[in-house]
Amino acid sequence: MKKKMLLLLSVLLILAVACFSSCEKKEEKKPETTEFKESGIKKIGISMPTESLERWNKDVSYLKDKFESAGYAVEVTYSGNNIDRQNDDIRKMISDGADILVVASIDGEMLSDSLSEAKSKNIPVIAYDRLIMNTDAVSYYVSFDNYEVGKLQAEYIVNALKLNDSGDKTYNMEIFAGDSNDNNAKFFYNGSMDVLKKYINSGKIKVVSGQTEFETVATAQWSTNEAMERMKNILVSYYSDGTKINACLCANDAVALGITRAIRSYYKNNNVPVITGQDADPVNVSNIIHDKQSMTVYKEFSNEAVVTYELVKSLLEDNATPESICDKLECKCSYDISTYDNGTGVIPSFLLKPEVITKDNYKEKLIDTGYYKIGDNGYVEPAQ
C-alpha cells in the first residue's frame, strides 16, 4: 500500500514538473551546467521596471535560475517605475561589463540614450515583454502575443454575457486599458476592441461613461489606485441613478483589483459584474476563486524566461540561428517578423501563447502544476 502511494506520488511529481517546464528544449530536458565557463564567464544584465508587481519578480527568478545554472553571471536591477533610474541602471550594467541586456522597459520611448551606448559597444539588447520604441539598438523582442491577450479578455465578456444569444437585452460596460507609455497596452486594447466594437456600435454594449478612446481609458503606470479612482468617479457620475454595471474590461490584474474594490464598495456587493484581468497574480486568483473577479489571462513567465535564455545562448555562444529557437522548444512559440515595428523597422519577435484562467481551470493550471499553493487561510500564495 505504502509502495503504491509512493509510486503514485512520484508519477504525480513527474507529471507536475513536466507541465511546469513545458517550454524546455525537446531533446535536452536538463539545464546545462557550467558548459561555458572555460571560455570566460559571460554577464547578462537584466533591467526590470519595478519590484512592486508580482510578475516581474517571478520573471527575474526564472531568468536568474536559467542563466546561473548555465554558468552565466547575472546582474539584475529594478527601477521603481522611474524612467531616469532605468536609464542609469542600464548604463551601470554596461559599465559593469554586461555582454547582453534583457530589458523590460518602463516607458518604451525613453531608453534611446542608454541603449545607444549599448549599441556603440556591440552589446545586443533584447526587449523583454515590452517592445522598446524608436531605437535601432534593439535586436530582438520576446513576449506573449499581446493582441491575443486583449482578444481573450473581450471574448470572455462576449461569452459570459451571452451577447450573441440574448435578444434585445443590452449591457453596461466600462473599459480600463493599461499605461499609454507601455507599447503592450495598445496591443491589448486593440485586441479587445476589435472583438467588442461591433457590439458597442450596435448598442448591445453601452459604455455608459462614453469613455472608449485609448488615451481616455489608459491607466497611468497600471496603477490599482488610479484605476480605482477613475472607476469611483464613473460610478458617481454615470451610475448614481441605480444603473447596474455588467462588465469591466480590465487590461491587467493590478487594474482589475482597483475596479473590484471600487465596485464592491459602491454597490455593497449587490452587483457582481464580469471583470477581466491579466497575469494571474495571487490576489486576483484568490478573487477568482471567491467570485470577485471572473478571469485572468495567464502568461507562463517561465516560458518567457526559457525563450530568452535560448536566444541569449544563441547570440552569445553559438553561430547564431535565433530564428529556429521556437522549433526546438515544446511550448507554443512563434517567430514573427512582421508585426512589431518599433519605429526603426520591424523587430524580430518570439511570441508565446497566453491562456484564460477561470474558476474552472485555475486548479489544474496553477495549483497542480506547482505554480501556486492554497495557503492555510484559503488564499492563493506563491508555491516557493
Name the residues that contact ligand BGC, by CB under 6 A: 53, 55, 129-130, 178, 182, 184, 222, 252, 278-279
Closest CA to 308 of 27, 21, 62: 62
| Nearest to ligand BGC of 108, 273 (CB atom) | 108
The one-letter code for the residue type at 162 is: K
With contact defined as beta carbons under 8 Å apart, do 250 and 227 qualify?
yes
d(CA 280, CA 368): 15
Beta strand 380-382 with 372-374: parallel, antiparallel or unpaired?
antiparallel
C-alpha cell at 175: 473599459
| Nearest to ligand BGC of 24, 129 (CB atom) | 129
* Residue 30: CB minimum distance to ligand BGC, A: 29
d(CA 332, CA 30): 19
d(CA 275, CA 70): 41
Residue 2, classified by CB atoms within 10 Å of its CB into exposed (0-12), middle (13-18) or buried (19+), is exposed
| Nearest to ligand BGC of 53, 126 (CB atom) | 53
* Residue 186: CB minimum distance to ligand BGC, A: 11
E strand spans, the chain: 43-48, 73-78, 100-103, 125-128, 138-144, 171-176, 205-207, 247-250, 274-275, 296-298, 333-336, 349-352, 355-357, 372-374, 380-382
* Residue 215: CB minimum distance to ligand BGC, A: 17
| Nearest to ligand BGC of 24, 107 (CB atom) | 107
| Nearest to ligand BGC of 148, 279 (CB atom) | 279
* Residue 355: CB minimum distance to ligand BGC, A: 14
* Residue 73: CB minimum distance to ligand BGC, A: 26
| Nearest to ligand BGC of 42, 58 (CB atom) | 58
CB within 8 A of 367, min separation 6: which ones?
Answer: 373, 374, 380
Residue of closest CB approach to ligand BGC: 252
* Residue 53: CB minimum distance to ligand BGC, A: 5
Beta strand 355-357 with 296-298: parallel, antiparallel or unpaired?
antiparallel
* Residue 179: CB minimum distance to ligand BGC, A: 7
Closest CA to 277 of 352, 357, 217: 357
| Nearest to ligand BGC of 292, 299 (CB atom) | 299
* Residue 46: CB minimum distance to ligand BGC, A: 15
| Nearest to ligand BGC of 94, 251 (CB atom) | 251
